[in-house]
Each structure stands twice: as structure tokens, then as C-alpha cells.
Amino acid sequence: MATIQLDLYSRCLQRNVPVTVIIPADTVEFESQPLPPEAPYPAFYLLHGFFGNQNDWVFKGLLQQLAVKYRVAFILPSGENHFYVDMPSGEHYSRYIGEELVEQTRRLFPLSRKREDTIIGGLSMGGFGSLLNGFRWHETFGWIVSLSPAIFNTAMLKERTGPEAMKSGNFTAADSFLLRKDFLQAAFGPFDEVDGSDKDVFTAYRKAAASPCGSPKIYLACGTEDALYPKVAQFRDFLQEQDAPLTFKDGPGIHDWLFWNAYLEDALETFLPLKK
């Protein structure tokens, strides 16, 4: 098992950025464990949530065990609280995640270049980023794993920043930052211009579905006690109406690591079932 901390220069972001990689190589063999994995490995680009960083999944998740169990490499970039979109400022997080990072890591590590072996996923802000960029870069990613995503379009952005938002009682302290209109506009630009743009997950899905290779397969999950559940269910309904290749899971749970760790493994079992 190798856990590697990288400092890579990004043309899209015009600076060096941190990336953590977990490669299921050089594992100790026991009779009770699976055989050591062989390269090239399926690649799982896993995005963190708001207020987090690229190591959240390392310290709060079970990635080292899952990497060996499912023979998959995890690539963990930093989203820097910018929602993984191409920002009006010129910082192209979407292009960095969907193009540049994939090519950098494929050059550096023994990763499969097959679409069906390339997954993008994340939680909360990263759940949104995985949907948006999985659809936008649909020729690269064959699978999307979106856990408790914060779904944004024009109506939802306005709702989250409206005067009634904080009165609803459905937002945590962390959400108070998301409710700041100036903060969200720094990432998304004018809210009225989001629908139909490259920051709109609904439009991104339609474009992916209409492409020759079609939409990536989607695993969408959210806890039924999560404040984001109503909006996730609304997006689920949209995908079902579009006859999307969707696996939807819900169950008891809130916006926390107990839910995300459990459903990340369920997603891996769905996409990369253990070889018998």
C-alpha cells in the first residue's frame, strides 16, 4: 500500500496544488485477504466537501482498506472551497479536475485509461463537483459516485441566499458561508446566468446523454435526515424522468462520515465488485 503526497503544477490554476494518491501496491499477503492487485488500476478521482481538503478522505475515511479490497487507486485533489467549477476569475477547476489532473496522474502512475475504469466521486460540495464534471467530461469518466451532493442551479442558488434561508432551521454553521451571496457569486458568477452554462448540472447531464458515448453511470445517495435530501430527491426525479443510468440509494443518516463511508463502499461494490 502506497500513500503519496504530491505537489503538482497546474496550468489551469496557475500554481502548484496538492494531490494525495493511494495506490494498492506492495500489500502484505495473508490467506484471509484478496490476492495483491495488479496494474493498471481503475482510478477513482474522489472530491472533498466544503471546509475540507484533499486529505479528509484519508483521515476520516477507509480508503486504504478499500483500495486493496477493490483493487482501485484513489486520487484526491484539493478543491479549495471553489465547487470544482471554472470560476469567473479565470481559475479553471473543472478543466483541472476533468482534463489536466487525469492526464498528469495517468503519466505518473499505472492507471487504466479505459473509460469504464475511471470514476469520479465526492461528498457534499464534492458530490456536486463529481456530477458536474462527470457529465462535462463524460468521454473520460464512466462512473459517477455522488454522496449527499449540494445541487446548484439558478433557482437553488437564489433560494440558498434568500432572506428566508437562515430562518428555515435546515442549515448548519458551515452552511452560513454558503448562504453568502458574494461568496457563491465568486464561484458561479451572476446567478441568472448559471442555468444553461457549464456550471449547471441539469444542462451538463443533457449534453452528456446526447453524446455518442452517453452519460456516465450514476450512483447517487443521501441520508433521509440530511438537510440536503429534498434537493437531492428533486435531482433524482429529474434523472429518472430523463431515463438516466441511475442507481439511487437512501436510508437513515445525516450529513456525516458514517453515511459517506458506508455508501462509498456500497458504490464500489456496485461498480467494482470483488473478483471471486
- 7-50 pLDDT, tens digit per residue, is 999 999 999 999 999 999 865 555 555 555 577 999 999 999 98
Q: How is residue 166 written as a grid cell?
A: 437562515
Q: How is residue 2 written as a grid cell?
A: 502506497
Between the CA of residue 164 and those of 157, 159, 171, 183, 251, what are the distances in Å? 13, 8, 11, 18, 28
- Residue 83 predicted with pLDDT over 70: yes
The pair phi, psi for residue 26, each rounded to 5°, is 55, 40
Please give the span between the terminal C-alpha atoms of the chain, in angstroms, as a whole number.
21
What is the identity of the amino acid at 132? L
Residue 274's pLDDT band, with cuts at 50, 70 and 90, is: low
- Residue 174 predicted with pLDDT over 60: no
Query: What is the C-alpha separation between 2 and 24, in angstroms, rounded?
Result: 6
- Residue 86 predicted with pLDDT over 60: yes
> Does 136 reside within a domain?
yes
In this prediction, residue 25 carries a pLDDT of 80
- Residue 197 predicted with pLDDT over 70: yes
> Does 16 reside within a domain?
yes
* Non-local CB neighbours of 227 within 8 Å, separated by 6+ positions: 170, 171, 172, 175, 255
Query: What is the C-alpha separation between 270 and 254, in angstroms, rounded?
Result: 22
Task: Give residue-wise pLDDT tens across range 158-167.
Answer: 887 765 554 5
Query: What is the C-alpha separation between 28 and 161, in angstroms, rounded?
Result: 51
In this prediction, residue 124 carries a pLDDT of 94
CB atoms within 10 A of CB 183: 14
Mean pLDDT, residues 65-94: 93
User: CATH no. for residue 202?
Assistant: 3.40.50.1820
Helices (H), ranges, 61-200: 63-70, 93-95, 101-108, 125-136, 154-161, 175-178, 181-188
Q: Are 199 and 132 in contact (CB under 8 A)?
A: yes
Average per-residue pLDDT for the chain: 89
In this prediction, residue 276 carries a pLDDT of 34
Residue 173's pLDDT band, with cuts at 50, 70 and 90, is: very low
Query: What is the C-alpha separation between 139 and 244, in angstroms, rounded?
Result: 16
Q: How many separate domains does the chain show?
A: 1
- Residue 181 predicted with pLDDT over 90: no
Query: What is the C-alpha separation between 215 and 141, in angstroms, rounded?
Result: 9
Mean pLDDT, residues 85-90: 92
What is the identity of the amino acid at 178? L
Q: How is residue 186 written as a grid cell?
A: 465568486
- Residue 169 predicted with pLDDT over 80: no
> Does 276 reside within a domain?
no
In this prediction, residue 245 carries a pLDDT of 98
Q: How is residue 159 written as a grid cell?
A: 433560494
> Does 189 reside within a domain?
yes
Task: Give residue-wise pLDDT tens across range 205-263.
Answer: 999 999 999 999 999 999 999 999 999 999 999 999 999 999 999 999 999 999 999 99
Query: What is the C-alpha separation between 124 and 76, in angstroms, rounded?
Result: 15
Domain range for 99 is 2-271
Residue 182's pLDDT band, with cuts at 50, 70 and 90, is: confident
> Does 111 reside within a domain?
yes
The kind and range of the H/E element at 263 are helix 257-271
- Residue 151 predicted with pLDDT over 50: yes
Does 82 or 244 have the greater pLDDT score?
A: 244
